Chains A and B, each alone.
Chain A
Amino acid sequence: MAGGRRRGGLEQEVLACLGAARRPLTVAEVLAELGGDLAYTTVLTALSRLHGKGALTREPAGRGYAYALPADLGASVTARRMSRLLDSREDRAGVLARFVADLSPEDERMLADLLAEGRRADPEALP
């Protein structure tokens, strides 16, 4: 029961999916990874558009193509340097918003329990 994607959300998801993969993926593989509510043509269109914008490389695979993120070491180096520079230390304004901060040991236990309980998680049972 998805709440609907924001603009550009699918493109980001496709990029993230290829970023997680260790090899080029075909349209069918991306579709299988992203899951249920998407149509084959939707994924195909997103992949071709991203390739058209130069955000993806592709190679022939079977009757279609397999897509991958271009090797982009420059961005990695820049991002790493910047995150180190901007990371909240004593004299930093803290402009970076991290998805998850560091955990305390109790937090780790609680989160591990949450994952172990899986889909049947009962909020009342949590500490």
Chain B
Amino acid sequence: MIVAMTLPLAVSVLMGVSASRLGRRLPPATAVRLLTAAMLVTALATGFVLAVAGMLVLAQIPLVAALGHYSAHVLGSGLPVPVGAGGLAAVTVCGLLVAALRRAALGGRDLMLAAVACRRLGPAVGGLVVIDDDEPDAYTLPGIGGRVVVSTAMLRALPADERRVLLAHEAAHLSRRHHLWVQAAELAAAANPLLRPVARAVRAAVERDADEVAAAEVGDRELAARALARAGLARAAARRATTLEAALAGADTAVADRARALLAGPPPRRWVLAGMLAALMVATGVAVLVTGADTEARFEAAQSAYALLR
């Protein structure tokens, strides 16, 4: 049981440590789905084993045991969870639950704000909204009937074929519902902070995936890389002109890495790596089932012992 209970934690650490490598090696579309799914499985499993560990320790309090009609002594005999660790687990799982709920509310609120913004922008043919602005900018407002917003400065910075790359990239964000994957990944990371680097990898993979879709649509990877380069440089130049600290602001999804990946050629499938990650998730699921079954058996034994003693 101790192995089963520590496996989700071990998997979390493993995923956190190898997140950026996984994100770069897996093909972007696979990375988005598989990493997010793996995060959700791992976060739920971790929450479950922590809750079980905490519950097993709290359940040994004599008053609790008496109310539950089981023997606290039998429940605690040979238990692999030290009392201190169990207490810590209980506190941790409560904190993580609050963090996850807070993150869910935050994501829900911002998705709703985006949906409201889409509605306020009015009917837009093809979902494209061109705004008159001197700062080169382009982004996707997610939601049902989401919008692609592009400033005139960005449109003027790019030649027609590179504008096509930009439009295809943003359309891919909408059609592949990238915002939902990113929000799910962020939720899992809130519930299990060990997974924070994996959420960053999912964000990066979403951009890479949209780049790949755009490159396929225009049929030219170099053209797609050039569009990224020109748009990035135009934005950097404009921001330098307006604000001083622009260059220091965090470059989350490194544009240069994306351009490099496009020039490196189509991403390989990586079946083996994807299979290993999937197998790890199955193992995590089994660990949860084993922990659950073992805990249930433990309580049943404690209950029959209590009945015998009476």
Contact = CB atoms under 8 A, between A and B. Distances in A.
A88 B203 CA distance: 13
A55 B125 contact: yes
B152 A15 contact: no
A97 B49 CA distance: 35
Looking at chain A, what size class is its interface with the partner chain?
35 or more
Contacts, number: 231
B250 A102 contact: yes
Contacts of A82: 113-114, 117, 120, 141
B160 A3 contact: no
B254 A104 contact: yes
A93 B111 CA distance: 8
A110 interface: yes
B225 interface: yes
B171 interface: yes
B94 interface: no
B155 A16 contact: yes
A80 B160 CA distance: 24
B98 interface: no
A20 B234 CA distance: 14
A95 B127 CA distance: 17
Nearest to A3: B219
A19 B139 CA distance: 16
A110 B231 CA distance: 13
A60 interface: no
B306 to A, nearest CB: 48
B226 interface: yes
A26 to B, nearest CB: 16
B56 to A, nearest CB: 35
Nearest to A69: B130
B19 interface: no
Contacts of B300: none
Interface in A85-121: 85-86, 88, 91-108, 110-112, 114-115, 119, 121
B76 interface: no
B25 interface: no
A50 to B, nearest CB: 6
B118 to A, nearest CB: 9
Contact of B179 (A95, A107, A108): A95
A39 interface: no
A96 B141 contact: yes
Contacts of A102: 235-236, 239, 246-247, 249-251
A121 B263 contact: yes
Contacts of A92: 106, 110
A41 interface: no
B228 interface: yes
Interface string B171-185: 101010011001100
Contacts of A63: none
B99 to A, nearest CB: 13
A75 B131 CA distance: 7
Nearest to A11: B126
Given A2-B218, A35-B161, A95-B179, A101 B251 contact: yes
